[in-house]
Amino acid sequence: MTARTDVEAVELANTAFYETLERGDFDGLSELWLSATDAGDTSISCVHPGWPVLSGRGEVLRSYALIMANTEYIQFFLTDVKVVVLTDTALVTCTENILSGGPAQESGELGPLVGQLVVATNVFRRTPEGWKLWSHHGSPVLAETGDDEGSED
């Protein structure tokens, strides 16, 4: 096993987060978030696209249980992944190109697939058990801006 840099370790933790969502692996997801021991019970926070802020492990994990229960299929294609590590905190920004489907009316079928463009800021903390999620904030990309400022006046 080779020694990993902090940036590589954070990238793996970030990928693992989305993989637990793809698998609908609630226990795996729970382990990736900072525990009450690491940071106090109300420390973590989460914003799903279009949602208000959720705070604390109870609220955050309940929201994921609800989302998993209502999602038959979800896949994340991550692009523009940027990682910055400052001592024991890591900040990850990425674009989540999401393909998802809800439960279908007929059993055995997938519901209609929906594509969604979301950007996320994920904050991780270094712990004895590796890098853990402190905050996730995802939001819909509604407008193309930033690259094309010249066209505004």
Q: List contacts with a copy of itself (CB under 8 A).
A: 39-40, 42-43, 45, 47-55, 59, 62-63, 66, 70, 80, 82, 84, 86-89, 91, 93-95, 119, 121, 123, 125, 134-135, 137-146, 149, 152
Min dist. Cβ of residue 126 to a copy of itself (A):
10
Q: Are 17 and 81 in contact (CB under 8 A)?
A: no
Which CB sits closer to a copy of itself, 1 or 143?
143
Which CB sits closer to a copy of itself, 1 or 150?
150
148 SS3 class: coil
Min dist. Cβ of residue 2 to a copy of itself (A):
25
Which CB sits closer to a copy of itself, 2 or 140?
140
Which CB sits closer to a copy of itself, 101 or 137?
137
The CA-to-CA distance between both ends of the chain, in Å, stands at: 55
Locate 80 and state its tokens. 């523009």
DSSP assignment, residue 61? H
Cα 20 → chain centroid:
10
Min dist. Cβ of residue 32 to a copy of itself (A):
17
Min dist. Cβ of residue 73 to a copy of itself (A):
19
Q: Are 68 and 94 in contact (CB under 8 A)?
A: no
Give the whole-angstrom CA distance, residue 33 versus residue 44. Answer: 8
Which CB sits closer to a copy of itself, 1 or 148?
148
Beta-bridge partners for 73:
101
Give the whole-angstrom CA distance, residue 64 versus residue 138. Answer: 13
Min dist. Cβ of residue 87 to a copy of itself (A):
6
